[in-house]
Structure 1
Amino acid sequence: MSMHQDNRQHFYALADQVTSQLHAGEGFTLWLQGETSDFVRFNRGLVRQAGQVAQVYLTIRLVQGQKHISQRVVLTGQAEDAEQVSAVLLDLRAALVDAAQDPHLLLAETVNSTESIQPNQLPPTEQIVEDIIAAAAGSDVVGILAAGPVFFGFANHYGQRNWHETASWNFDWSLYSHGDKAVKRGGAGFVWNAAAIRANIAAARTQAELLSRPAHSLAPGGYRAYLTPSALGEIAALLNWGGFSEKSLRTKRSSLLKLAEGAAFSPSVSMADDSAGGLEPSFQQEGFIKPARIPLVAEGRLAGSLVSPRTAREYDIPSNGASAQEGSESFSMAGGDLPQADALKALGTGLYISNLWYLNFSDRPAARITGMTRFACFWVENGEIVAPLNVMRFDDSLYRIFGSELEALTRETEFLADAGSYGHRSSASQRLPGLLLKDLKLVL
């Protein structure tokens, strides 16, 4: 029996136990999140630190009417977990007496049990590490590799049981050049490809050599610009920060109010919450099942929003299984017609932007954003990189970036997984094209 079969069956057994210990009028939800992850830190193209994190957390929520209270515990996978869960249930029952009514609590009542278990297609982490070291030989590659399975479980008193497990890798890295100059890259997926990492590091070496040229400074103004999928990812993340939230739209705090009121992006822009193509489970902590795909923007027009159970209860509308934050955890943007290999030629003269950082809204209601160029951004003339750029700040509108100034989207899209591991490995991801702009406003 595999370790994950043990985890799944152990979780189901705990759910049955809690069900048997309920008092009249009580209900519960269980939310499990676990991983067995190898983490390897690289410096100068060699392993600096390696370790493994194996952890399983269980959140137990006791419900009575519109009152609820919860506690998170660490599971060991041993018989002692049953005793711990029984003790927590007693504590929650005692505390629930003093809990306030929650008018916006909404739990799934229709049983929709699911199991999604993706076979682990990854080689041993040692092999992945050997491939990275071989590809990085002679270069100062700095980064963190995370690899291994993650799993989620849900159960409630109605008898619903859900399980999701998958194995993936995420290598977040930079190739250091000199001073404050580096090429920032990353990759993620469910299948390891040694040839791809060799090609990626080789391309980074080429860009690192270009960073040794004298830097080019630009005066504030508008410039043609090509944004790589990584750079677009920073903008998409800001757009996703409340932009598609039903609660934010109704309370007039969304950055896309104008879109909701009839404004439009370019007809070539289509965006979606694509949970079927991401790392996240298809279920969430209240037991609702997420659609495989939720259209958010279709041909430039607002096509949908993300509705959490609490928002659904508050406004008496259906939930589509969004998280409490109502942000897309598997954000997807459709590609266009521009071959990625022709991006520099199509740009002609202008900015090649590999990365952005420090992004924020400069005027949220107007969807204006600001940020800085970072890591391997270049000045291009006649389709050829001629010099690295000194750091610049941009300030522009999403309606220009995705609308009036959008010239083309690359045909290819790139899968970008969130490298966050604070507390646990993130299951958020993006799938994005590159983006060619006729004009991007630089202000400093």
Structure 2
Amino acid sequence: MAILTKEEAKKIIDKVLAFSKADEMSVALTGRRTGNIRYARNTVSTSGESTDLSLAVTAVYGKRSGTSTINEFDDKSLEKTVRRAEEIAKLAPENPEYMPMLGPQQYLESNTFVQSTANIDPAFRAKAAFDSIDPCTRKNLVAAGYLEDTTGFFATGNSKGLFAYNKSTSVDFSITVRTADGLGSGYAIKDYNDVSKLNTKAATEVAMQKAIASVSAQALEPGKYTVILEPAAAVDLLQNMMRSFDARSADEGRSFLSKKGGGVRLGEKLFDERVTIYSDPTNPDAPTSGFAGDGRAQEKVTWIDNGVVKNLTYSRFWADKKGVRAVPPPSGFIMAGGTQSLADLIKGTEKGILVTRLWYIRAVDPQTLLYTGLTRDGTFYIENGKIKFPVKNFRFNESPVIMLNNLEAMGAPVRISGNLIPPLKIRDFTFSSLSDAV
């Protein structure tokens, strides 16, 4: 019962709304089936599958709201949940920023569901784990990995006539490979809606190569270096930057998009002219739901166009206050890139450092988007277009805003963490100290 059809979900939501005595009511219905397999030291440690179906009811009186949740779906339980939400709403303080619920909306069709992913079973997971563990065992390497697949749906409706439904699948895989002495480490990560695109053996072989190659790392002096950030390294800094595209934070002077003395930097060129970032829920390689959690439509939006900030996200309250369109945050984003491969970027680098991924990232200054963190799982020195030797890991202090102004080259975008990100070649990337991380 965890995965309901659009018709089944609407039937339950309509039934709940029929019980309402509140001024307004919204219902959110979520279901998922999640499977996983985890292994460490070349041995499976846990595996399992779970299902969940839950419903949340929000009742509103004036500007007071209350929410109640339940995972039982008989009529008596549903009505009890409605009454509970109404009771909470009457006791709640007024929310001065409350906005009336939306009416019916039009949504883009997005292909987020793939049947082959929904068909994943324990035998498939076991084979995926074996394909990762076996090559490591044969080469006396140590694998630790995790695979999780999810099939789910989200439906929402309200007393104003809004109804939205989306069904989706996903599979996420990550692998860390260590040498037997623990001195070398490699990493790879993959995620897709369509499991047919996942090859755990191929991903593991990349991590194996990095683990073997990263033994006997040499220490380099901290400083500013040309770096090639693999997509797994670039994505975290870029995600942090995109989460900062909130108009209210900018208007209130709390953002790198705030102007000194007031105002926002919308329309300003803040990045290298080759930087274009947009979101598109219908993108075939990284599709997302056609609506946000509050029922607003997700559309194709360009956030940065040739280095110029084009759009910001707005809550409905802040958009109403400013008299503009309420643009929801994107579920994922796409950074336009070039056509070069990672190998091509390395070949074109006279001196630099290749970074597999970044880890333990923390904010230092939100107004400049300065972050600190560590490199990890394969950091290498490049000279004359070739990887010369592994280097000890660094602590970095860098802002994605500065980073995207020091852009030298970009490769072809690949999917990473639900986004499409190219490998990035950046000059003057700041490494502040060495790290003992492997």
* TM-score (structure 1 length as normaliser): 0.86
In the alignment, what sits opposite 2:115?
120
Runs of 4+ in 1 over 6 A off after TM superposition: none
Q: How many residues align?
A: 416
* Cα pair 1:266 1:406 within 8 Å, conserved: yes
Relative to 1, partners in 2 of residues 1:315 and 1:84: Cα closer, same or farther, differing over 3 Å?
Answer: farther
Would you say the 8 A contact 1:34–1:150 is kept in 2? yes
Query: What is the aligned-residue RMSD (CA, Å)?
Result: 2.4
Q: Distance in 1 between matches of 2:373 and 2:18?
A: 54
Q: Is the 8 A contact 2:17 2:27 kept in 1?
A: no
Q: 1:285 to 1:131 in 2, by over 3 A?
A: closer
1:70 aligns with 2:63: no
What do the CA deviations read for 1:57-84 (whole angstroms, capped 9, x no partner)?
A: 2211012232221122224xxx53x322
CA drift at 1:20: 2.0
Q: Does 1:99 align with 2:88?
A: no
Greater Cα shift, 378-387 or 50-59: 378-387
Please list the CA deviations of residues 13-59 of structure 1 after superposition, one character each: whole Å capped at 9, or x if unmatched. 22222232223x62211112221010111223442211112012221
Counterpart-to-counterpart distance in 2, 1:22 and 1:223: 62
Q: Is the 2:114–2:193 Cα contact (8 Å) retained in structure 1?
A: no
Partner of 1:133: 130
1:337 is displaced (CA, Å) by 4.1
1:252 counterpart = 2:253: yes
**CA offsets 1:313-361 (integer angstroms, 9 cap, x no match):** 4434321233xxxxx4202211124333312112232100001122233
Which among 184, 188, 191 is matched to residue 187 of structure 2?
A: 184
1:425 matched residue in structure 2: none
Percent identity of paired positions between Structure 1 and Structure 2 = 19
> Could you say which residue in structure 1 is the equivalent of 2:424?
435
Equivalent position of 1:422 in the other structure: none
CA distance 1:47–1:251, change in 2 (3 Å): same
2:45 match: 48
Contact 2:407–2:424 (8 Å) recurs in 1 = yes
AA of the residue aligned to 2:291: F
Structure-2 residue corresponding to 1:228? 230
Match in the other structure for 2:139: none
Q: CA deviation at 1:432?
A: 0.4
Match for residue 371 of structure 1 among 370, 373, 381: 373
1:147-158, aligned counterparts within 5 Å? 147-158=149-160
Q: Structure 1, residues 172-223: CA drift from partner, whole Å, max 9, x if none?
A: 22112242642121111122247843322222222211122x2111112221
Counterparts of residues 347-426 of structure 1 (less than 5 Å): 347-403=349-405, 405-410=406-411, 412-417=412-417
Q: What pairs up with 1:24-63 in 2 under 5 angstroms?
A: 26-63=23-60
| 8 Å CA contact retained: 1:345, 1:382 | yes
Determine the structure 1 residue equivalent to 2:436: none
Aligned counterpart in structure 2 of residue 300 of structure 1, from 307, 311, 334: 307
Distance between the aligned counterparts of 1:363 and 1:119, measured in 2? 41
Letter in 2 for 1:12: K
CA contact (8 A) 2:110 2:281 kept: no
Report if aligned partners of 1:225, 1:347 keep a CA contact under 8 Å in 2: no
Name the SS of the counterpart of 2:403 in structure 1.
helix
**Partners of 1:111 and 1:206 in 2: how far apart?**
53
Structure 2 equivalent of residue 339 of structure 1? 341
**Residue type of the partner of 1:248?**
S
Unaligned runs of 5+ in 1: 323-327, 418-428
Does the CA-based 8 Å contact 1:107-1:287 persist in structure 2?
no
Residue 154 to residue 275, structure 1, CA distance change in 2 (3 Å): same
Q: CA deviation at 1:408?
A: 0.4
Q: 1:263 offset after TM fit, Å? A: 4.5
My pick for the range that moved more, 59-68 or 191-200, is: 191-200
